[in-house]
């Protein structure tokens, strides 16, 4: 049976360095978060946005995709909490996460990563320049109790999860996509330096 996938766009950060919510900055006339949604749409059986309470109303004005808040026990505890929240919400076999601040992400990347799904591994994570990209990755729902345990002891690092589980790492060179796909936008300076940006 084909495994089911829940696509999750993580948009719960405070965007402190950026100075305003990155999810709604524009790239080629469309909000950043919509590029992540588009990259996931063709591979996911269901889609979610995991956000901060202050952004929920704006997301609901801009999209009909379900917007989740971190489950209360781990609210505000970073990406691990977002992944756990989707696992609590969905019965899908895998959660495919993307951040909201990678507007160059493309469907080719998500499709190729999905092709590496293997029931014998717990996660599928790209290696970009030899470093893991744990927020562009797939996680099996069997990891829910492992993530809960980490959160309960106050551990928020994605690397702490990767160290405990069986990960299949995929070198990004194998994915055959251009380098800029892996760029995220952290500051206004980075945003303003992009020739294809739009104001918001």
Q: Which residue has the tokens 């799904």?
A: 117
Sign of CA pseudo-dihedral 142, 172, 98, 4 = negative
DSSP string, 53-82: GGGHHHHHHH--S-EEEPPGGGTT--HHHH
Binding-site positions: 10-12, 22, 70, 101
Beta carbons of 113 and 172 less than 8 angstroms apart: no
The per-residue pLDDT for range 92-131, each reduced to its tens digit, is 999 999 999 888 999 999 999 999 999 999 999 999 999 9
Beta strand 94-99 with 137-140 is antiparallel
pTM (2 d.p.) = 0.89
- In whole angstroms, give the CA distance from residue 96 to residue 109: 12
Beta carbons of 6 and 50 less than 8 angstroms apart: no
Binding-site positions for GTP: 10-12, 22, 70, 101
Task: Quote the pLDDT of residue 179.
Answer: 83
Binding-site positions for Mg(2+): 101
Task: Quote the pLDDT of residue 14.
Answer: 53
Beta strand 123-128 with 67-69 is unpaired
For residue 72, what pLDDT band results from cuts at 50, 70 and 90? confident
End-to-end CA separation in angstroms for the chain = 44
Q: Which two tokens stand for residue 3?
A: 């495994």
As a whole number, mean pLDDT of residues 149-172 equals 96
- In whole angstroms, give the CA distance from residue 69 to residue 144: 17
What domains can you pick out in the chain, each with its CATH number?
Answer: 5-198 (3.90.550.10)
């Amino acid at each position: 049976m084909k495994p089911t996938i829940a696509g999750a766009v993580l948009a719960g950060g405070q965007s402190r360095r950026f100075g305003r919510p990155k999810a709604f900055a524009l790239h080629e006339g469309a909000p950043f978060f919509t590029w992540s949604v588009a990259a996931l749409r063709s591979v996911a059986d269901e889609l979610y946005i995991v956000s901060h309470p202050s952004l929920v109303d704006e997301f609901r004005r801009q999209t009909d995709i379900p917007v989740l808040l971190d489950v209360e026990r781990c609210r505000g505890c970073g990406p691990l909490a977002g992944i756990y929240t989707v696992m609590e919400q969905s019965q899908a076999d895998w959660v495919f996460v993307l951040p909201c601040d990678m507007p160059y992400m493309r469907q080719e990347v998500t499709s190729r990563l999905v092709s590496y799904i293997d029931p014998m591994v717990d996660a599928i994570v790209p290696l970009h320049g030899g470093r893991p990209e744990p927020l562009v990755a797939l996680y099996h729902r069997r990891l829910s109790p492992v993530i809960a345990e980490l959160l309960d002891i106050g551990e928020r690092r994605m690397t702490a999860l990767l160290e405990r589980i069986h990960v299949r790492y995929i070198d990004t060179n194998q994915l055959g996509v251009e380098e800029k796909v892996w760029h995220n936008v952290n500051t206004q300076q980075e945003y303003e330096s992009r020739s294809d940006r739009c104001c918001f």
